[in-house]
Every structure is written in C-alpha cells, then in structure tokens.
Amino acid sequence: MDNNQNLIAQCEQVAKQWMTSSCYDAETQQAVKAMVENPDKTELIDSFYRTLEFGTGGLRGIMGAGTNRMNIYTVGAATQGLSNYLNKNFKDLEQISVVVGHDSRNNSRLFAESAANIFSANGIKVYLFDDMRPTPEMSFAIRHLGCQSGIILTASHNPKEYNGYKAYWDDGAQVLAPHDKGIIDEVNKVSVEDIRFEGNPALIEIIGKEVDDVYLQKVHQLSIDPACIERQKDLKIVYTPLHGTGMMLIPQSLKLWGFENVHTVPEQMIKDGNFPTVKSPNPENGEALSMALDLAKQIDADIVMASDPDADRVGMACKNDKGEWILVDGNQTCMIFLYYIIMNRQAQGKMQGNEFIVKTIVTTELIKSIADKNHIKMYDCYTGFKWIARQIRLDEGKLQYIGGGEESYGFLAEDFVRDKDAVSACSLLAEICAWAKDQGKTLYDVLMEIYLEYGLAVNKTINVVKPGKSGADEIKAMMENFRLHRPTELAGSPVVCTKDYGVLKAYDAQGAEQPLDFPEASNVLQWYTADGTKVSVRPSGTEPKIKFYVEVKSHMAQAADYPAAQAEALIKIEAVAKSLGI
C-alpha cells in the first residue's frame, strides 16, 4: 500500500470514530459521513490528517468537521486541556480565573460560549465579554482583572473560512515556553469523552463597558502632544473596521483623544463574519482599503486607517507630494511610530535614559539606525508579538518600554497590553498626522524626512503559498535545501553572513560560526549581503505558506528622488527573488 493509501486509511479510521461516537452531534456526523463516502478524498485528508496544534498564533484553521478543523470539539479539547493545565499550575489559588473574548467571525460567539462553559465546568471563573471585542482589550483585561489566563476566538486577518483560538498567560501575553508545550501536552491527552461541555453559570460573569472605559482611559494617557491635537482637532480621518471589532472602540478612542472629524465607512461598520465588502479582511492588502480610499477622495481626507477583524493590526494610506493616495506598508508604519515617539518624547523632555524599543528580526533595519543615533536601546526578537511581550516582561521594573512593532502591521505603544494594539495605534497615528499638519507637513513628508536622515531601505514580503499536506512537505523540503546549500550571492552581491536560528548559529562567508543569543531555536534563516541586502525566510506558523522578507538599500538625495529610488530597489528585489528561485 503506498503512502497516500496509508494516509487515507488512517484518516478514515479517525473519521469513523467521529461517525460512531455518541459524543459528536448529528450535524457533525453527517458532514464526516459525506467526506468518507466521497470518492475524492482530498477533503477527508485535509480534515483528518492531523490534529490542530498551537503554532505561533495558537490554534487556527478552516471551520468544519474534523481533527484539523475549527469546531466545538477542537475548541473544546483545547479548552479542556488548558483548564487541566491551569488547575495543575495554580492549584494553590482559591479561585482561578480567565477572560474569554471573540471577534466578528462566523461561529466566534458559539466557540467563545462553549469555551466559557468548559472553563466553568472545571471550576474556573470566567469573565466573558458581552459581545465582540479587540484582541488587545482582552489582553488588557487579563492583567486588569488579575486573571491567570485568557483566550480570544479569532483568526485575525485570515479569510472568512477560518477561525482561531489564541491562548494567553497571566501577564496578558500569548503563551510561551514552558507553558505552550505544557498546554499542548494536556490538550493531546484529552479525548472527546473528557470534555466537560456542561457549564456552571454561577462561575460565568459577563463584562463589557466597565472594562472598555478603563482601557480607553489608559490608551488616552499615551498621547504625547495633546496641544497639537487641540489645534488640529478638525484633521479629516477616514477609518474602517473591515466588519470587525475595531468598530467597538476605535471611533470612541479617536473622540476621546480630541479628534472631531472622523468618518467611518458605513458599509464596513456592520458586524459580519462573511466580510462581504472585501476579498480578504487584511489591512496589509491594498484592496481591503479601497472603500475607505474612495471615501477619502470624496471628502479630501488627511489620513486613511483600517483595522483587521480582531483590531490588533492597522493598515494606512496617505497622500504623497503629488496629492495621490499611497499605501504605507508595515515596515514604514512601525518606523514612523517609533521615530515620532522617540523625537517627541525627547522634544518634551520626557526621556529618562532607561527607555527601550523592540522590533522583530524580519522588520526593517532602519529602526536600528534611528535607535542607535538617538541612543535608545533596541532589542531584536522573533516574529510574533509574544516575543515583544516577553522582552517587556524581562525588563519590567528596570527599563521603560516605549514602543515595539513588526512588519506585519502590528504595533504596541504601551505596556499595559501585551499584544499588538490597533486601538492605541490608530489613536497615535492620528496624533502623528496632527503633529505633521501643525508644521504644514503630511505623513508622507515625515516618511521622507526619516529616509533622508537615516537612509532608504525598501522592503517586500514574498509569500509562496503551499496548501494542504503536500504543501507542508514542500515547505519543509525548501527549508532543508536552503540549509544544505547556503546561497553565496544574492542579486550579484556576496553573502557575508548567514544566520540559522534553527541551530542558533551565524556563519560568515568563510563558514566560521558564532552563537546567536535567542531564547530558543526557530525555523528561520537570514542572509546578509555586502551591499546591505537582508533576506529572511520562514514558514508561517499560522498559514500554509513560506515567507521571504527582502530588504534592499537604496539612495535618495532629496524627497523628489523617492519614486525613482523605490523603483530601482524593487527591480533589485526581483533579482534577489530570482537568485533564490522564487
């Protein structure tokens, strides 16, 4: 029997358990039966070839029946395993408590209520939000309410077919080692018979506005220059939540900060898990901002901003020097935020000398140039905000965190939340635009000033999508090949350094090695060339793709040179991709 037949047999065996066990509801059993009876076994394999596991973003997958799908049973097993782990870990506490939140996706409320019931059935007190809420508010609520853990049901910016489950620890950050492995071990021990679906209503408390108010007040305290907002309170802002949780708090936050001219996209201020007005609810994709841009053109707005369904990422657009709307990418966004925070804290005498910022290893190196020139400590960490949160935790009480972010449109300006936060980011972005306008400038002018002072780097992420079981195997083979055959040049420039985070070693061109100081190994490779190009490659922890992050240096003597310098850099990025065979 070949491997494929073996795999089909294994999947059928598990599927038949789902069809015969009384633990599964009739609708689920009907869906599984249809897969088993279908001559095309693709859906059966994709639904049952593995059990969903916690990756860099927790549990995430397509909704449907099966061990590799998001449904009340996979959510139930995750929650039962997490409950068992919490009850072991905090056994001396009189009352263990958790926060449960969710986004606007289909089934998110059902999954959140199912999880709340399971926690309560295991003797754990649950604070369940009354409706959808942004992920950062759930993170805030864990610390605010003194909980030991929290979960949010969200698949972030993924397409509508997906849902997900992110688990957080008592510091408000996503779960890291050793707890991530500990929870996975507990989850893997859970069989469907072990899941306690019958809740204890006495242990479930509904929360809402009272937490919103405290959180929004804390976010408002991040304002660095309220006087410039007062002068520019008529700044024309267009905002869209893309049918997601941002609608609950972001317009409120902007109002609290003093902005009086905020325009929302009415068609996208409707909670809808089908995200009917966009191909994908991802503010990284220009298409998702098209309705907001149409409105911005109609009213001649100053800035456009969009948050993803769980309101942790922010995408933005501004006008260039010709008055044309352009998208600002995640690297530029992160850089503008950190530049503004550093410059304006300095200008107002707010620097104590113990501040630090954090970026991820795949985010633009220009941030390091800004930090170095301004004598600010900067840490590099792995992709994923749990690593930024880890650094905040390590330095808590010793150093002052003033901001951190990543190229994938996530930024965190505060330490009372431990995940990326579009609520504070949108508010701060509006302040940056007000500050620029106060000086007769635009956000684009600020970006050009950064490039002229610190040099120009152009970044592009190239995603190679490989779905399903065969795709996962292909991605694995690609990473192995890059390790075995390290590139010696990229686009004609010699590779002077290779970093392999899988073995935590850096190699120079001659092969001499040095250790990398990171908390654990990670499946990431980086190459640095003599002319300043940086390439990072990693399989996504949450999606069926391998990602290549390419950064190339370019030069501009004045702002007017930017389009030509950018075009030249993009040609070079194509040459780099060709060198890598992608």
> Quick check: 55 pLDDT over 60?
no
> Quick check: 507 pLDDT over 50?
yes
What domain count does the chain have? Answer: 4
Mean pLDDT value across residues 328-349: 97
Structural domain ending residue among the three candidates 161, 183, 207: 207
178: preceding bond cis by omega (within 30 degrees): yes
Distance of CA 194 to the CA centre of its chain: 32
pLDDT in tens, 447-457: 999 999 999 99
350-387 burial code (b ≥16 CB/10 A, e <16):
ebeeebbbbbbbbbbbbbbbbbeebebebbbbbbbbbb
Same domain for 305 and 431, yes or no, is yes
Rg (CA), the chain: 24
Provide the pLDDT for residue 53: 78
Mean pLDDT value across residues 295-303: 98
Separation of alpha carbons 487 and 519, rounded Å: 26
Around 178, how many Cα atoms within 13 Å sit in the side-chain half-sphere?
A: 3
- DSSP, collapsed to helix, strand or coil, labels residue 8 as helix
Identify any residues that bridge with 405 across adjacent strands, giving them in sequence order: 359, 411
Q: Is residue 88 part of a domain?
A: yes
Q: Is residue 24 part of a domain?
A: yes
Provide the pLDDT for residue 177: 87
> Quick check: 341 pLDDT over 80?
yes
> Quick check: 515 pLDDT over 70?
yes
Cα angle 495, 499, 503; round to 5: 140
Separation of alpha carbons 135 and 118, rounded Å: 21
Structural domain ending residue among the three candidates 207, 230, 248: 207
Q: Is residue 401 part of a domain?
A: yes
- DSSP, collapsed to helix, strand or coil, labels residue 527 as strand
pLDDT in tens, 198-251: 999 999 999 999 999 999 999 999 999 999 999 999 999 999 999 999 999 999
Mean pLDDT value across residues 32-36: 97
> Quick check: 113 pLDDT over 70?
yes
Same domain for 561 and 495, yes or no, is yes
Same domain for 443 and 461, yes or no, is no
Torsion of CA 525, 528, 533, 534, to 10 degrees: 30
Provide the pLDDT for residue 52: 83
Query: pLDDT above 70 covers what percent of the chain?
Result: 98
Provide the pLDDT for residue 184: 85
When pLDDT is cut at 50, 70 and 90, the band that residue 51 belongs to is confident
Same domain for 332 and 383, yes or no, is yes
> Quick check: 368 pLDDT over 50?
yes
For residue 573, the domain's CATH number is 3.30.310
Structural domain ending residue among the three candidates 454, 485, 503: 454
Separation of alpha carbons 385 and 166, rounded Å: 12
Mean pLDDT value across residues 112-135: 98
Same domain for 497 and 558, yes or no, is yes
Identify any residues that bridge with 147 across adjacent strands, giving them in sequence order: none
Provide the pLDDT for residue 254: 98
Mean pLDDT value across residues 288-299: 98
> Quick check: 78 pLDDT over 70?
yes
Query: pLDDT above 90 covers what percent of the chain?
Result: 93
Same domain for 222 and 365, yes or no, is yes
When pLDDT is cut at 50, 70 and 90, the band that residue 542 belongs to is low
Domain that holds residue 335: 215-454
Same domain for 159 and 246, yes or no, is no
Mean pLDDT value across residues 163-179: 95
Q: Is residue 65 part of a domain?
A: no
Q: Is residue 561 part of a domain?
A: yes
> Quick check: 412 pLDDT over 60?
yes
Q: Is residue 297 part of a domain?
A: yes
User: 365 CB contacts (<8 Å, ≥6 apart)?
Assistant: 457, 534, 551
> Quick check: 96 pLDDT over 80?
yes
For residue 180, the domain's CATH number is 3.40.120.10
> Active-site positions?
156
Provide the pLDDT for residue 120: 99
Mean pLDDT value across residues 277-291: 96
Q: Give me the DSSP letters along 406-465.
A: ETTTEEE--SSS-S--HHHHHHHHHHHHHHHHHTT--HHHHHHHHHHHH-EEEEEEEEEE
User: Please, are residues 443 and 485 in contact by the beta-carbon 8 Å criterion?
Assistant: no
User: Please, are residues 548 and 525 in contact by the beta-carbon 8 Å criterion?
Assistant: no
Provide the pLDDT for residue 1: 40
> Quick check: 353 pLDDT over 60?
yes
Same domain for 422 and 496, yes or no, is no
Distance of CA 34 to the CA centre of its chain: 35
Q: Is residue 414 part of a domain?
A: yes
> Quick check: 4 pLDDT over 90?
no
Question: pTM surpassing 0.85?
Answer: yes
Mean pLDDT value across residues 360-376: 98
Same domain for 443 and 307, yes or no, is yes
Q: Is residue 54 part of a domain?
A: no
Cα distances (Å, whole numbers) of residue 467 to 29, 165, 383, 461, 470: 25, 20, 21, 18, 7
Separation of alpha carbons 228 and 230, rounded Å: 5
Separation of alpha carbons 69 and 50, rounded Å: 9
Provide the pLDDT for residue 543: 74
Q: Tell me the average pLDDT of the chain.
A: 96
Same domain for 402 and 508, yes or no, is no
User: Please, are residues 243 and 271 in contact by the beta-carbon 8 Å criterion?
Assistant: yes
Same domain for 294 and 347, yes or no, is yes
- Of 476, 470, 546, give the one whose Cα is nearest residue 46: 470
Same domain for 182 and 221, yes or no, is no
When pLDDT is cut at 50, 70 and 90, the band that residue 57 belongs to is low
